[in-house]
Amino acid sequence: MINIGADQQESIQYSIEHLPVALHFQRFEKTRGDELPLHWHPEWQVTWISDGELCFLINEEELILDTNHLLILPAKVFHQAKPITNRVRAICFNFLLDFLTEEIVSAYLLSVEFASLTLKVSEEQRHLLQQFQRTETINPLFVLSFITQVLGRVSVSDQQSPSHREDQDLSLFSEMLQFLQANYAHTMTVADLAASGHISKSKCTTLFKRYTTLSPIAYLNEYRLQEARRMLQERNLSITEVSHRVGFNQLSYFVSCFKRKYEKTPLQYQKSYLH
């Protein structure tokens, strides 16, 4: 489970010796309800799927990642993901650009701005990534070589820079997400969310649909269900108490929504996870 703060920023612990790089081996099971919630991080990210398929939502774009491609995300991009196939295995690299000089970053990477980029994985890269999965001790030089190869291909890609308006919209959306996360357990309306960003209700709805594909209230309920699932995994709480803590006033509605999303009632899910 990833560590996400109040502003939806993921806190990443670097795991590769002497490098600002974190390497994560991820497994998802669709029937268990596994997914990556909406978040961002100041690091760049490269993801490869070794088995199965993941559906990513990146800003307003939906993208299906398979075993034949790499997904590259620059810093500070909102994204979330859920499995399409029942089981998915993935390798994820999160890294800062501190191992490069400012001159290289400025000349070759900051001039190429994008929300996401997919590149076909080469056979050499596939072999190296499979080695990472099989090896307990990973050579930092091989990690550095892989990342610089990917960045080299990014630097020659033809991407358009986001507009100032898009930057403003992302900032507004981030403000509303912070408000939602801090207050999701209380009664909340679209007007409340819009007021937190000092925008109209229609603009609020437009931004939520753009970046999550859901209406504000639908996303609120999705977030509440994610928090309920986490509570059922981590604590031995009653279903009524979980329902109340995540903001569902009617227990029957909570049970219905939870079963629709995770294909089990909260009690069934809690028993299957804790025992």
Q: What is the mean pLDDT of residues 232-251?
A: 91
Same-domain pairing of 116 and 184: no
Of the pLDDT bands very low, low, confident and very high (cuts 50, 70, 90), residue 159 is low
Residue 105 pLDDT greater than 70, yes or no: yes
Same-domain pairing of 147 and 210: no
Q: What is the mean pLDDT of residues 178-198?
A: 94
Tell me the CB-side half-sphere exposure of residue 67, using CA atoms within 13 A: 11
Distance CA 209, CA 76 (A): 19
Domain that holds residue 189: 164-274
Distance CA 115, CA 75 (A): 9
| One-letter amino acid for residue 68 of the chain | N
Tell me the CB-side half-sphere exposure of residue 87, using CA atoms within 13 A: 3
Same-domain pairing of 213 and 127: no
Same-domain pairing of 188 and 140: no
Q: What pTM value is reported for the model?
A: 0.77
Q: Based on the structure, what is the number of domains in the chain?
A: 2
Of the pLDDT bands very low, low, confident and very high (cuts 50, 70, 90), residue 87 is very high
Q: Using the 3D structure, point to which of 106, 121, 155 is the last residue of a domain.
A: 155
Residue with tokens 């600002």: 20
SS3 86: coil
Q: What is the pLDDT, as a whole number, of residue 111?
A: 73
Q: What is the mean pLDDT of residues 233-254?
A: 92
What is the sign, positive or negative, of the torsion defined by CA atoms of 234, 238, 244, 249?
Answer: positive
Residue 161 pLDDT greater than 70, yes or no: no
